[in-house]
Amino acid sequence: MDDAQRRTWLRNTILKAKQAYYFGGQPIMTDAEYDALEDELRAIDPDDDVLALVGAPVSADAILTKARHRMPMGSQSKVNTQEEFETWFTKNGSPVIQASLKGDGASAAAYYADGRLEQAISRGDGIEGEDITANAVKFHGLPVLVRRPDGTPFSGAVRFEVILTVANWALIDPTLAKNPRNLGNGIMGRKNGKDAHLLTVYAFDVDDADRVFTTETEKAEFLKALGFTLMPSERCPDLESCVSYYRRITAERSDLPFWIDGVVLKIDDLEAQAKLGMTSNRPKGQTAWKFVSEGGETTLLDYEIGGGHTGVLVPTAKLAPVEIGGTTVQNALLNNWEEVERLGVAVGDTVYVIKANDIIPKVIRVVQRAPEGTRRAIEEPTQCPFCEGDVGRRTNTGGEAGVATVCLNPECPKKSSGKIARWIKGLDIQGIGDSVLEALIEQMDLENPAGLYTLNEDRDALASLIINQEREIRLGMKRATTILDAIDKTRTLSLVQLMGSLGIHGLGTRRVELMLTSVPGELDTLADWRGDKLRDPQFAARAGVPSMGDRLQDGIDQVADVIDAMLEHGVTVQDADGHALVEAAATAAADSKGSVAITGKLPSGKKKNDYKQPLEDAGFELVDKVTRELTYLVLADPDSTSGKAKKARGYNVKLITEDELLALLED
C-alpha cells in the first residue's frame, strides 16, 4: 500500500473494530492491537476525525427497517443460449462489451455522504429494501470511509453483491449441507449480526455526485481507486470474445472462490446504453447469460404429497438416486397437478431432472414412458391426506380456479403446524427449529400459535421434550428458558406483526403495511380488521385488494379463535398509533363454571367451534390446552390413549363423551 491506501485501511479497520467492540458481542482484536492502529493513524494525521469518534459508527438499531433506495435497483434481462445472446448482441449494433461474473449472492447498495457510509440497503423490490447498515459495516470489503483518488470525500452510491465465499461457507457449515447463497442471505439479514464479518462485498456499479462516467470500464477503474473489491470483469471487443469469455467461465466456475450462476454482459459505452432505454424496468443495454442447469435421467419410483401452512398440497417425485452437480438427487418438485398433466408424467417413467438455478431439483420432461400396465398415475387428491378434509383449487385474483390444490379444512393439522412455523419465523422467535416444533406438536399438543403463550405454565414438560428420538436427547431447562424468554418478547405486538404473521394466505406483513397506508385511519385497530370491512368491494378496492377482500376476511375469520386465545394468554396488540388494545376475552373466565377442551373427531361430525357459543351461553369456557385447571376434556372415545387424554388423566381432569357434553349443556 502507498501512504494514502494505508491511511484508508487504518481508518476503516479502526471503525470496524469500534463497531464490533460496542455491538458485535466480542472484539475482533485485542486492546493492544487496536491501540497500535490508532497510534499509526495519529502519526499520519493527528487531527483525523476517526480518532475523535466516540462509540460505534453505526447504531445497532439500524437493521431490518424498511428503507427506500435513492436510485432504483433494477434487474437484467436474461439469455440462456448462444443463439439468444447473438441475437441480443447483433440487435444492439455489435458493441464493445464489459463482461463480468454474475455472483450468486444478494444485491445491495451503499450510500455515502461526505466520504462516510450513511446507509446500506438490501435490493428488496428495487425501490424499497431493508436497512442492513449495522451488518454491512462488518462485511469484508465494504469501507466505511471513502475518498476519491484526488483526496476529496466521496458522495454517491455503490452497488455490490454480498457473497458468502466457499471458504467461509465451510467455516459456518462444515458439512456443506446448505448452499452459500441462502445461508449468506440469511446472515445478511440477521438482527444479531452473527457471522456478518464472514460475508464479502464485490462492487459492480457506482454513481458519483460530482462525476459523469462515459464507460463501464471507467466505472470499474474508479471503484477500484475508491478501495472496493470488484466483481471480476474484462473488456470484450467483439462477439467471439464474448462467447469465449462465457465458455471459459463456464469451464472454470467450479474453481472460483465463490458461486456464480452466469455472466453479466453490458454495453461498455454508457451513452449507447442510455439511448437503448429500458423495457419492463430492465436496461436493454445489459443482459445476463445464465448457465444451463445441470441435469440427468432417472426413474420416477413413486410420489408423495406435501402440505404447508396455507393448505397448498404439492406433489413431490421420489426418484431412483441420480448424481447432478455433485449431489445425489432422490426427490424433485412437480409443482402442481396442472404441471403433472402438462408433462404427461407417471410413476415408472424415465424422466429428466435438472437443478433449477443449480439448487432445486425439478422434473422437466418425460424421456421414456413405462410400458402400459406398469405406469401409475400421479393422482390429484380428492381428500386432504393429512386431515381427510375436502380439497379444491385456490381461486386466483380474477376469481377463477388457479393451479394450486388446497385443503379447504381450516382445522387441518398440517395447516396448523405450518401456521405455527410461519408465526415463529415472522416474529423471529429464536430457538424453535423443526425438531423442537415437531416435538411441541406431538408431545405437548401444540395446536396453533396461541399455544406458545401457555408454555410458561409447564416449564418442566417443555424442558423434558425429546427432540431427538434416536438418541433420546431432551431439550433441557437452559434451552427451554431461552425459548420462553424469546416468546415473552413477542407478547406486545403491532397490528402489522400480528396480522402479517398469522399465515393468512395473501396477507403478509408487507401487504398489511400497504393496506394501512392505503386507508389511513380505517384499519388502525384489531376491531377494524375483524369487522368485515374487507367484504365491502369499494373498501377493499381502496385498501388495495380489489379482488381479495372476501378471501382475506375469510382468512381472518378462520383464525378468530387463535387471536382470542392469544389475547386471553396475555398478548397485547398495539393499534396503528401505538396504543395497546387489550380485549376483554380474559375477563370472561372469572365468571365461568369451568373450562372445556374438545379434541379429535366427534361422532356428530361437529367441530369444536360449533360448541363455542353453546358453552359460553351455559357459563363454560372453551379452551385449547389441557392444563391442571381444565374441568372437562371431550373425546370421541374416553378410553383414548392420545397425548391429551394421558395428560388429562394425569391432571385428574374428567373425560367425557359428546353425549355427556350435550347433557351437560342441557343441565
**Structure confidence by residue, pLDDT tens digits, 546-577:** 878 888 998 898 888 889 889 988 899 988 76
Band the pLDDT of 125: cuts 50, 70, 90: low
| Cell of residue 290, nine digits | 445464465
Would you call 214 helix, strand, or coil by DSSP? coil
Kindly write down the DSSP assignment for every residue of 242-293, as one continuous string.
Answer: HHHHHHHHHHHGGGSSS-EEEEEEEESBHHHHHHH-EETTEETTEEEEEPPP
Averaged pLDDT for residues 2-25: 71
Strand partners, 108: 122, 160
Q: What type of residue sits at position 38?
A: E
Strand partners, 488: none
Which of 236-250, 407-421, 625-639 is the least confident region?
407-421
Query: What's the Cα-to-Cα distance from 383 to each of 169, 310, 405, rounded to whole Å?
Result: 43, 16, 11
CA distance linking residue 499 with residue 507, whole number of Å: 7
**Which one, of 374, 294, 358, 360, lies nearest residue 331 by Cα?**
360
Give me the residue label for grid cell 445425489.
328
CA distance linking residue 653 with residue 241, whole number of Å: 79
Helices of type H across 446-601: 459-463, 477-488, 495-500, 509-518, 526-529, 537-542, 549-558, 560-568
End-to-end CA distance of the chain: 90
| Cell of residue 64, nine digits | 431490518
Cβ neighbour number for residue 341 with a 10 Å cutoff: 11
Band the pLDDT of 31: cuts 50, 70, 90: low
573 sits in the region (left: phi over 0; alpha: psi -120 to 50; else beta) called: beta
CA distance linking residue 564 with residue 451, whole number of Å: 12
pLDDT at residue 88 tops 90: yes
Which of 267-281, 590-604, 644-658 is the least confident region?
590-604
| Cell of residue 392, nine digits | 379444491
Kindly write down the DSSP assignment for every residue of 355-395, as one continuous string.
Answer: EETTTEEEEEEEEEPPPTTT-B--PPPSB-TTT--BEEEEE
Q: What type of residue sits at position 49?
A: D
Give the pLDDT confidence score for residue 289 in this predicted structure. Answer: 93
Q: What type of residue sits at position 79?
A: V
CA distance linking residue 418 with residue 441, whole number of Å: 11
Give the pLDDT confidence score for residue 59 in this predicted structure. Answer: 55
Burial class (CB in 10 A: 0-12, 13-18, 19+), 518: middle
| Cell of residue 359, nine digits | 439448487
CA distance linking residue 367 with residue 594, whole number of Å: 64
Q: What is the CA radius of gyration of the chain?
A: 29
Cβ neighbour number for residue 30 with a 10 Å cutoff: 9
Strand partners, 128: 68
Give the pLDDT confidence score for residue 237 in this predicted structure. Answer: 96
CA distance linking residue 77 with residue 630, whole number of Å: 61
Averaged pLDDT for residues 260-264: 91
CA distance linking residue 388 with residue 382, whole number of Å: 9
Residue-range domains of the chain with CATH: 1-57 (1.10.287), 69-290 (3.30.470.30), 294-409 (2.40.50.140), 413-581 (no CATH), 592-666 (3.40.50.10190)
Give the pLDDT confidence score for residue 585 in this predicted structure. Answer: 35
**Structure confidence by residue, pLDDT tens digits, 152-166:** 999 999 999 999 998
Helices of type H across 569-650: 612-617, 643-650
HSE of 189, CA atoms in CB hemisphere, 13 A: 19
Cβ neighbour number for residue 180 with a 10 Å cutoff: 21
Q: What is this structure's pTM?
A: 0.47
**Which one, of 323, 430, 341, 402, lies nearest residue 377 by Cα?**
341
CA distance linking residue 166 with residue 173, whole number of Å: 10
CA distance linking residue 134 with residue 188, whole number of Å: 10
Q: What type of residue sits at position 270?
A: L
Cβ neighbour number for residue 508 with a 10 Å cutoff: 17
For residues 231 and 599, the model is more confident at 231
Q: The sheet that has 116-122: what strands, in order across it? A: 116-122, 106-113, 156-163, 200-208
**Structure confidence by residue, pLDDT tens digits, 91-124:** 999 999 999 999 988 899 999 999 989 899 988 7
Q: What type of residue sits at position 592?
A: S
Averaged pLDDT for residues 618-625: 82
CA distance linking residue 303 with residue 378, whole number of Å: 7
Band the pLDDT of 214: cuts 50, 70, 90: very high
Angle between helices 31-44 and 3-23 (to 10 degrees): 140
Band the pLDDT of 581: cuts 50, 70, 90: very low
pLDDT at residue 604 tops 70: yes
Average pLDDT in the chain: 83
DSSP 8-state class, residue 53 = -
Give the pLDDT confidence score for residue 350 in this predicted structure. Answer: 95
Give the pLDDT confidence score for residue 398 in this predicted structure. Answer: 45
Burial class (CB in 10 A: 0-12, 13-18, 19+), 566: buried
CA distance linking residue 525 with residue 503, whole number of Å: 19
Which of 111-125, 133-147, 387-401 is the least confident region?
387-401
CA distance linking residue 620 with residue 117, whole number of Å: 61
Count of residues for the chain?
667
CA distance linking residue 144 with residue 137, whole number of Å: 7
589 sits in the region (left: phi over 0; alpha: psi -120 to 50; else beta) called: alpha
**Structure confidence by residue, pLDDT tens digits, 419-454:** 888 899 889 898 888 778 878 877 787 888 999 999
Are the beta carbons of 132 and 189 closer than 8 angstroms? yes
CA distance linking residue 309 with residue 410, whole number of Å: 10
Give the pLDDT confidence score for residue 577 in this predicted structure. Answer: 60
Q: Which residues are CB-contacts of 216 (< 8 A; sequence separation ≥ 6)? A: 98, 266, 267, 268, 270
CA distance linking residue 97 with residue 91, whole number of Å: 14
Beta strand 260-267 with 286-290 is antiparallel
CA distance linking residue 121 with residue 114, whole number of Å: 18
DSSP 8-state class, residue 521 = T
Give the pLDDT confidence score for residue 157 in this predicted structure. Answer: 94
Band the pLDDT of 497: cuts 50, 70, 90: very high
**How wide is the angle at C-alpha 570 spanned by C-alphas 567 and 574, nearest 5°?**
65
Q: Which residues are CB-contacts of 459 (< 8 A; sequence separation ≥ 6)? A: 477, 480, 481, 484
pLDDT at residue 73 tops 70: yes
